Structure 1
């Protein structure tokens, strides 16, 4: 069959529904244009998330569970088990935490974060996590929404928590993880709680272990609206653990008596990617987690030097840093077997720069959302389809719909919908938002513009709500950003739509240049114009020192729009 005939045949197939059976690293199109994972279905056990974490504890009890990449403070799996259970008992006995009560955590990545998180879940409570650099106003808003009974923070975050309590006019107990520093007045010492040899574990017998209990309450990023509390159950999280363990797609090696993988944890644990993929799931398989409280080039490079890192969970800014930072050489990446990247589409130039340094490393794009616990798809190890986010995880279905909610076939762009056991229970106290997000037959509307090819590989184009309408044409900002970043002098780029009397909207670019490199606005415009049709071209280019992004690496286009508005007013 000639190439032309093959293309015609594919286009004809895309116009009608069909079914294809593919190999284990592909997916299946059904008659009604739904893509089903071809990976082995999971059978979700009737257990809690912490029971799943400790299922194989005896295999690696004496191995390191977590170590701080700055202080070298470490904790073994056995001690993590013991301390988290002690903390759970203290929450129930001393703080009167009951089943389904909410406990709020505001901490940087430190080994004790795992003790806190597992202890909250073990106590039958629900953990809501807060960005440790939030202002008191931002924290008070989450306190109002989640209504926690206890607050847990570090010495640095306690003043913010106290100020937030003044704003909500409530007096909530604070537990402080303080290390060796003096404890802030009016707070309880975390270390004393977990080291109390007289703690009564009998209080844990009253914990409700229903798999449908909500155990995590992260708040969505709010990049497309006000943050909403995402209710994730034991069943959601256990399913997500098992989905990541399929031998065809897993990102880790098995822990044995002689081998233990290590993962570098710089992505924040308060965010769903860092919390589930980097922290909790890796604890279920005996991996050593090297924590960094915040990203700093010196401590980051030092951690790579000091620890033999096998897996690195990254977001696009971190991949960009790996490829562009002169202080990171090939020797720093020798042990890394896999780099996973999620949170936003990753341009091919960023991937190429990293792989030039890391010759023995696989870079695997993944895709997910807070509402899906988080993973939906992953590239299979060995795949070179770097601009795709891969195939659906086990027991996961995906489909593409148009503006009329009609299913689309291969290579057609539309909104991505997801169905599987990892989809959230709903948004807390927000029935309207839940019903708008999840259809009656269980499909979650991602709000992402995507396409799926004949083999079930998903490619994310952009957020639907961030599309720019130019003379009726839809322009995806991420597409233009990816092309601009191919310019040899460009480090990073962000594109937004700005009002225009004639076109409705026009794309505008904000560009960050590489250190020591120069470029004029017309250079960027000309470079892009040579690669895209006329309605996608950009004439307005602004140079910035950096782009606003949230901690998971997503570009905050609304902040760029605010910057633009303040300049033009």
Structure 2
């Protein structure tokens, strides 16, 4: 089946709003916006951008919002006005934000008041000309929204003081008549989103994702998961940040295109608040990742929720340990379909089909996606041999924004993208990610992949999380060191190493184990091995 990728995100948006006007689209903090609401509000925001912001089609607009109702309104509004969206993490430090705004050349910033103090520190050193400040409940009914905003600001003291020379309230932008919007005609090959990546390994680069890339990936996922994603019947739980491309594609593209509802969770780290938001909600699809599955399964209130409507659990963003997958299925009654992707691939490359889950693999490539493994010299490897995974398909990015050299390093002229991940492809096409190329540990010439050791360690009933890094050693070159989070204060290093010996060959067994209360993570929940190594 050939995918019809000759459409833009705005085409998909318009079709969904026309087909499902009276269906709920996004729910957050007790309030729901229907498809007709998203259409109307995003038209008002788009008309503001076109007529009152000074921005032109192709200009970049940074959107620094967590999972609140304003996010889809701002993103769809920006795309309808012909702007390029720069997804921006609300947890950025001032210097990280400055880099992204400067590198992208963003002319406008939509920012949540709670994190606006960081932006105010550096905004004068960036190209940003227009700052739009939103408060958390701006799109709730007037009285309730005002009370919630006041409570967040004055009772919970969650809004540090900030000041911009020129700024505008988000609510003001919605006072522009949406009828003034002149529909912008984009082409499928126009850049829609600049998605920054690589911040954990160096300077963050902007992956140029076109309308074609994102529409293609939406179609690929919907087709691949056609036995799981239903039309206009599902309620997706959305705890992962929408500014992360995995959540954006699943919730703002796949679920939205099918007329489904998304329950937005603004702060998934607040587990009691998260569980409270799920109470009494007939959710059918849950999109998460390893650390979140672990945290929820340790919560007694979560275990007591009604999971009778749940049909699908999806995992991405980091490796899923077998222990976490089994625990999740025991608690919810739903197996986890693990997938794999990269920012540079919009992002989905592979997913385990619900009818054919193979734990320990990331599943099969989505339609019209080619995968292969290569050796260090770039030569193709046979099936079953571990090598660097390469991907080719319509979801592969256009390149990095203003970084031709970095693009040439990762993307070949014939469209193959080098992922930097070591993988094995079996005879039936299932892909197993062994580890990141740069995280591999070399013990006396033997390769040790951290994922394998971490999986073995978290099989221990007292270990919740584990992270493994290589430490320098005069004799062996490197040795394996483990950092673990335990629920048993009496557990010893010796007992952990003895447990690892039962399933790992001697050189893979950690030479030392350090107990931690928690492991350092990115905002999305990925464990930062680099920080542990430092």
Normalising TM by the smaller chain, what interval? over 0.9
Alpha-carbon separation, structure 2, partners of 1:170 and 1:433: 24
Shift of 1:169: 5.5
Which of 299, 314, 320 is equivalent to 2:294? Answer: 320
Residues 421-476 of structure 1 deviation map (CA, whole Å, 9 limit, x = unaligned): 00000000100110001112110001001111110001111101100011111110
State whether residues 529 and 538 of structure 1, in contact with CA within 8 Å, keep that contact through their aligned partners in structure 2: no
Tell me the residue number matched to 2:492.
520
Residues 55-75 of structure 1 deviation map (CA, whole Å, 9 limit, x = unaligned): 14333201111111x3x1221
Tell me the residue number matched to 2:192.
215
Q: Secondary structure at the match of 1:334?
A: coil
Alpha-carbon separation, structure 1, partners of 2:533 and 2:455: 19
1:192 corresponds to 2:165: no
Alpha-carbon separation, structure 2, partners of 1:330 and 1:371: 39
TM-score (norm 1): 0.86
Alpha-carbon separation, structure 1, partners of 2:185 and 2:11: 13
Cα 1:425–1:119, aligned 2, differ >3 Å: closer, same or farther? same
Alignment of 1:424-503 (within 5 A): 424-503=397-476
Residues 490-542 of structure 1 deviation map (CA, whole Å, 9 limit, x = unaligned): 1100000011111111110001002x453111111111122222211212110
Which of 332, 335, 349 is equivalent to 1:376? Answer: 349
Tell me the residue number matched to 1:60.
20
Which consecutive aligned stretches of 4+ in structure 1 deviate over 4 angstroms post-superposition?
A: 181-185, 247-250
State whether residues 83 and 195 of structure 1, in contact with CA within 8 Å, keep that contact through their aligned partners in structure 2: no
State whether residues 328 and 335 of structure 2, in contact with CA within 8 Å, keep that contact through their aligned partners in structure 1: no
Alpha-carbon separation, structure 2, partners of 1:332 and 1:511: 31
Alpha-carbon separation, structure 2, partners of 1:236 and 1:147: 22
Structure 1 stretch 89-98 or stretch 442-451: which is displaced more?
89-98
Cα 1:500–1:363, aligned 2, differ >3 Å: closer, same or farther? same
Cα 1:250–1:424, aligned 2, differ >3 Å: closer, same or farther? farther
Tell me the residue number matched to 2:82.
124
State whether residues 304 and 333 of structure 1, in contact with CA within 8 Å, keep that contact through their aligned partners in structure 2: no
Alpha-carbon separation, structure 2, partners of 1:332 and 1:447: 40
State whether residues 278 and 313 of structure 1, in contact with CA within 8 Å, keep that contact through their aligned partners in structure 2: no
State whether residues 230 and 370 of structure 1, in contact with CA within 8 Å, keep that contact through their aligned partners in structure 2: yes
Alignment of 1:71-470 (within 5 A): 72-166=30-124, 168=125, 172-178=129-135, 179=138, 180=146, 181=149, 186-197=166-177, 199=178, 201-202=180-181, 204-205=182-183, 207-246=184-223, 249=226, 251-255=228-232, 260-295=233-268, 296-329=270-303, 331-359=305-333, 361-470=334-443
Alpha-carbon separation, structure 1, partners of 2:93 and 2:225: 43
Residues 377-411 of structure 1 deviation map (CA, whole Å, 9 limit, x = unaligned): 11111223121111111111000111121212222
Q: Secondary structure at the match of 2:111?
A: strand
Structure 1 stretch 490-499 or stretch 221-230: which is displaced more?
221-230
1:530 corresponds to 2:502: yes
Q: Secondary structure at the match of 1:447?
A: strand
Shift of 1:41: 3.3
Residues 12-42 of structure 1 deviation map (CA, whole Å, 9 limit, x = unaligned): xxxxxxxxxxxxxxxxxxxxxxxxxxxx332
Alpha-carbon separation, structure 2, partners of 1:332 and 1:160: 40
State whether residues 106 and 127 of structure 2, in contact with CA within 8 Å, keep that contact through their aligned partners in structure 1: no
Aligned length: 510
Shift of 1:249: 4.6
Q: Secondary structure at the match of 2:25?
A: strand
State whether residues 108 and 131 of structure 2, in contact with CA within 8 Å, keep that contact through their aligned partners in structure 1: yes
State whether residues 271 and 296 of structure 2, in contact with CA within 8 Å, keep that contact through their aligned partners in structure 1: no
Shift of 1:81: 0.7
State whether residues 357 and 363 of structure 2, in contact with CA within 8 Å, keep that contact through their aligned partners in structure 1: no
Shift of 1:252: 1.7
State whether residues 47 and 209 of structure 1, in contact with CA within 8 Å, keep that contact through their aligned partners in structure 2: no
Shift of 1:552: 2.5
State whether residues 511 and 543 of structure 1, in contact with CA within 8 Å, keep that contact through their aligned partners in structure 2: yes
TM-score (norm 2): 0.92
Residues 281-312 of structure 1 deviation map (CA, whole Å, 9 limit, x = unaligned): 21111111111111111121112213211111
Tell me the residue number matched to 2:141.
none
Shift of 1:200: 5.3
Q: Secondary structure at the match of 1:110?
A: coil
Gaps of 5+ in 1: 1-39, 563-569
Tell me the residue number matched to 2:517.
545
State whether residues 91 and 523 of structure 2, in contact with CA within 8 Å, keep that contact through their aligned partners in structure 1: no
Residues 317-340 of structure 1 deviation map (CA, whole Å, 9 limit, x = unaligned): 112123333332154433221110
Q: Secondary structure at the match of 2:438?
A: helix
Residues 125-168 of structure 1 deviation map (CA, whole Å, 9 limit, x = unaligned): 111111111111111111111111101011112222111214x2
Q: Which structure has the higher relative contact order (CA within 8 Å, separation 6+)? A: 1
Residues 194-237 of structure 1 deviation map (CA, whole Å, 9 limit, x = unaligned): 2433x5525x24x3411111010010142333211000001101
Cα 1:250–1:145, aligned 2, differ >3 Å: closer, same or farther? farther
1:47 corresponds to 2:7: yes
Alpha-carbon separation, structure 1, partners of 2:308 and 2:73: 31
Gaps of 5+ in 2: 139-145, 151-161
State whether residues 112 and 134 of structure 2, in contact with CA within 8 Å, keep that contact through their aligned partners in structure 1: yes
Cα 1:169–1:419, aligned 2, differ >3 Å: closer, same or farther? closer
